[in-house]
Structure 1
């Protein structure tokens, strides 16, 4: 009998905790997932009783989850598409978008690749298939091996819009499920090229990017992304199904605080300026 009472007590405690409203779910961008996890770890340390569950899957997956009501926060490395906004409207949802960090999409090369820089037109040619051999851009006489992201990725969509001018990727592009996989592939392929968030680059080198052949190439760094001189820069977003209040407002404002932004920089992301972070706070 005592055992039954004890089990009931544990059940009541657990269900009370589960329904206490202190669980926050975050889902979406693989570019942002490391930052989301790091923020969650630190926030839970400071807010005992709050449980934060963070998962990736891609920006498109996160947006779908937000609109289906299966996540509290969507992490996205792109804005919502027009059809996604229309779907939200049809469900009576008014998505609330907040920039939480900045990012540069770096162009990854193998460390032994002699190429140091590429223009936007060269990158477009490489990824649309118009340029197929490294010798066409000053490199060795070898076919270029293309690595990219899957089409549910915000990075895939942003790169296609910004670099490919919305043209299709070459059919021979090998699509991989996350930036870490792209980095790993290029690190092990002397003739490979890839792209992805600046924070993920380990064991590869960057190509400087320039507007045209006559311009000076710019490397992706915290400084060049912050001041906008790096050409493939973007905002990283959190989406909510309405203007956040309560526990979601509290967490968002903490992420936008000096402490939260310092964490983003410490793991390779680009923090917002103090002015932008302050402007994004929910009053």
Structure 2
């Protein structure tokens, strides 16, 4: 009887060890989280969510990446930087695209929920650009004039050297990283004017300004099509959102565009990010209309 009991105990122990080894091979752990070195199975899907400013760039990267890796699928969706970071927090995306830096409270939530730091990787350069209709004679605006317009203090174009016409102000939704950037850098943290019309994406802002002769809006430099990009006047000089000015930081609204991951990326996520930062990937940045990240 003792021998039978010993044999049953031994068999149970061997079964437990085998199950643990099988779990390790699948990339799992006791907490159900993939290990840092886990590699995705062929045919797996990488999910990327976030910034509307970056969504076209992300999709172009995905197309080029999948041509090189036909067994891998990459899904890229927008919704705003805040949406992407929220998805990173709740575990529904592997990479969050963001046109703003992650907030300390968000980074702390990543650490608390996932026991991993929010890993920030700059993948491109951009300059937040203010757009006016091609028929608008105003050639440039200072940061103070932009601030006054978006706070609602300046309501007529004649106050800034333009025609006698009310200013139609267009803005982004508050989940947008570009919205947050403009609020912090241009408005000094103050709220946008109540009259500012909120639109769901940069393309919608561009379309509205292209149709509204007296409109003004803002977004990424890559979206400046069908309207005129407005230089920012600083130190008695009109500074355009050109590649040279954005990469050097001379343009006052220059910024980095980011990927965020929970800890160091691995597997398909790392392969995709390495591609985005490769010479081929940075060439896609230029093709879309943004600028290579500073090395």
Shift of 1:19: 6.0
Q: Which of residues 239, 248, 251 in structure 1 aligns to 2:260?
A: 239
Unaligned runs of 5+ in 1: 1-17, 277-283
- Check whether the contact 1:103–1:235 (CA below 8 A) recurs between aligned residues: yes
Q: 1:54 is matched with which residue?
A: 76
Specify the SS of the correspondent of 1:139. coil
Contact kept? 1:78, 1:154, Cα under 8 Å: yes
**Residues paired across the two proteins, number:** 255
What's the counterpart of residue 222 of structure 1? 243
Aligned mate of 2:188, from 158, 161, 165: 165
Task: State the match for 2:161 in structure 1.
Answer: 138
Q: State the partner residue of 1:15.
A: none
Measure the CA separation in 1 of the matches of 2:42 and 2:112.
30
The correspondence for 2:290, drawn from 260, 269, 277, is 269
| CA RMSD of superposed structures (Å) | 1.2
Q: 2:87: which partner in 1?
A: 65
Do the aligned partners of 2:99 and 2:257 also contact (CA within 8 Å) in 1?
A: yes
Which among 30, 54, 63 is matched to residue 41 of structure 1? 63
1:60 is paired with a residue of what secondary structure?
Answer: helix
Q: Does residue 147 of structure 2 align to residue 124 of structure 1?
A: yes
Runs of 4+ in 1 over 4 A off after TM superposition: 18-21
Deviation at 1:90, TM superposition (A): 2.1
Q: Tell me the TM-score normalized by structure 1.
A: 0.88
Contact 1:210-1:231 at 8 Å conserved across structures? no
- Structure 1, residues 153-211: CA drift from partner, whole Å, max 9, x if none? 00000011111111110000000010000000000000000000000111000111023
Partner of 2:36: none
Query: What is the CA–CA distance in structure 2 between the aligned matches of 1:32 and 1:193, rounded to whole Å?
Result: 21
Q: What TM-score comes out, normalization by structure 2 length?
A: 0.84
Distance 2:109 2:280 in 1: 36
Q: Does 1:75 align with 2:97?
A: yes
Q: Is this contact kept in 1: 2:150–2:192, CA < 8 A?
A: yes
Runs (5+) with no aligned partner, structure 2: 1-39
| Structure 1 residue 22, shift from structure 2 partner | 2.6
Tell me, in whole angstroms, the C-alpha distance in 1 between the residues paired with 2:79 and 2:195: 23
Q: Alpha-carbon deviation of 1:21?
A: 6.4
Partner-residue secondary structure (3-state), 2:259: strand
SS in 1 for 2:293: coil
Distance in 2 (CA, whole Å) between partners of 1:131 and 1:103 is: 27
Corresponding position of 1:279: none
CA displacement 1:68-112 (0-9 Å, x = unmatched)? 000010000001112212222221231101000000111100000
Select between 138-147 and 81-90 the one with higher mean Cα deviation.
81-90
How many angstroms does 1:223 deviate by? 1.6
